[in-house]
Amino acid sequence: MNARYADIYMTLRRATLIAAFHLGPVLKPFLKIGYAQFAEQERKISKRYSRCDKLYKIEIKPDIYWVGGIDWDIRNFHGYLTQRGTTYNAYLILDEKIVLVDTVKHYLFDEMLSRIKEIIDPSKIDYIVSNHVEMDHSGSLPKILNYAKNATVVTSTQGEKGLLRHFKKDWNFHVAKSGDTLNIGKRTLHFVHTPMVHWPDNMVTYIPKDKLLLPNDAFGQHIACSERFDDEVGWDILKEEASKYYANIVLPYGDQVKKALSALSGLEIDMIGPSHGIIWRSLIPKILEEYTKWSNHDTEKKALIVYDSMWGSTEKIAFMLRDGLQEKNIQVTMKSLKTNHISDVMTDVITTKMILIGSPTLNNGMLPSMGGFLTYLKGLKPRNRMGFAFGSFGWGGQAVGEIEKVMKELKWELPLEGVNLKYIPDDEELSNVKGIGNELGKILKE
């Protein structure tokens, strides 16, 4: 078909599809062929809208409601692969004063508003607590303040500065210092600053009357689901998502997490409502235990091999290292950067003591996939690890040295010199590599 007829064909087809889509329900009895696909399209669209239409009240404590938004379709959260989507959790507290704690990403404002309207007239909100400036939680502040025109925004010192820089609005701010309280009737809200968990402005809101902690990003998980509580989802999925979240968001701030855990340790808490994912009520000891381990950089004596390969030589080395480690009964996880997203590799990094990283040399450096991963890894600063670098080359051979340089910057222990093999490794070289794997296994077990 030439281009002209193709254009005419496509225009007619598009017109037919649009007409059939809109007239589909009317013409349904008369259409035998093709209706199914229009109905499917319609179902998808109506499902999208029904997310706002079929809301229902979710009361998590007497007079405290979850009024967040569920982001079913997001798969990339500033570079983090969110394969299960996410939620932005906001909480509405009804007392003599009405308080909204945090908001949602801007495009889910209507969903949050609908949830609030199921409960109260949004113009009656007295306070909006902004525990964290990042726009997945503050993005709907300007819109909700159009309804709650007299509301006061309660935030930390850094929070006020951040919100002013983000929105350039001279809202009615109330700056809460760490330890400050705000009486709202039967309840008193307590604010504790948790700087760098994971932005300078972060604070948590604690409500003693309800033993409820609203810590914003801390204890979050990127998971979109209809369930709201931990026991409705199960530990396996939640541990996976909470650890991925910690590894990709919170990991550099272990010391600050420890301070925050210490500050919260004296509080009576029977519910933790983070700003992403489910609310903890049955598994609080388990998630606190994991946060303690992660913030201490505690690891298990196992190995992770992260690599990429051009013509298969670096991959052969990776497999022989694996075999050598496994001969010493070391648990090994293989992550090729061709098939694994760097945010998923990080989930393994936080629990693994020995990390082997391999790349061939390309243009006097390493493969771009490995360069990207190492940049990400450096920023997330996993500590107390053992490292080992490996690779292959045709000439030059700089990649292994560059990988080792990053490991040294991270202050990892490098118990053995890296392996760097020219072109295609032969049987003897591969056998030596396996021996190195044995050696690394022995060192790891010590």
Q: Return residues touching ligand FEO (CB under 6 A).
A: 132, 134, 136-137, 198-199, 217, 275-276
**Residue in the block written with tokens 């990207």:** 372
DSSP letter (8 states) at residue 208:
G
> Cβ closer to ligand FEO: 68 or 382?
68
Which member of 95, 276, 290, 348 is catalytic? 276
DSSP letter (8 states) at residue 337:
T
Is 116:97 a contact under the CB 8 Å cutoff?
no
> Cβ closer to ligand FEO: 124 or 259?
259
Residues 6+ apart with CB under 8 A from 382: 251, 297, 349, 350, 355, 410
Cα–Cα dist 7/19, whole Å: 18
Active-site residue flag, 53: no
DSSP letter (8 states) at residue 177:
P
Q: Which residues of 95-125 are buried (b: 16+ CB within 10 A; e: fewer)?
A: bebbbbbbbbbbebbebbbbbbeebeebeeb
Least gap, CB of 269 to ligand FEO (angstroms): 20
Active-site residue flag, 78: yes
> Cβ closer to ligand FEO: 136 or 315?
136
Cα–Cα dist 416/445, whole Å: 15
How many Cα atoms sit within 13 Å of 195 on the Cβ side? 8
Residue nearest to ligand FEO (CB): 134
Least gap, CB of 197 to ligand FEO (angstroms): 9
Of all helices (H) and strands (E), which one includes residue 387?
strand 386-393
> Cβ closer to ligand FEO: 217 or 429?
217
Q: Beta-strand (E) ranges in 220-299?
A: 271-274
Least gap, CB of 292 to ligand FEO (angstroms): 21
Active-site residue flag, 132: yes
> Cβ closer to ligand FEO: 250 or 304?
250
Tokens of 284: 């609080």
> Cβ closer to ligand FEO: 276 or 434?
276
DSSP letter (8 states) at residue 367:
-
Least gap, CB of 356 to ligand FEO (angstroms): 31
Tokens of 411: 């202050």
Least gap, CB of 345 to ligand FEO (angstroms): 21
Amino acid at site 258 = K
Q: Which residues of 287-302 are buried (b: 16+ CB within 10 A; e: fewer)?
A: bbebbebbbeeebeeb
Active-site residue flag, 190: no
Least gap, CB of 204 to ligand FEO (angstroms): 13
> Cβ closer to ligand FEO: 136 or 290?
136
Least gap, CB of 216 to ligand FEO (angstroms): 7
Which member of 198, 201, 230, 253 is catalytic? 198
Active-site residue flag, 291: no
Is 31:20 a contact under the CB 8 Å cutoff?
yes
Active-site residue flag, 341: no
Residues 6+ apart with CB under 8 A from 181: 188, 189, 190, 191
Active-site residue flag, 255: no
How many CB atoms are located within 10 Å of the residue 23 CB?
13
Active-site residue flag, 253: no
Which member of 136, 230, 348, 404 is catalytic? 136
Active-site residue numbers?
A: 78, 132, 134, 136, 198, 217, 245, 276
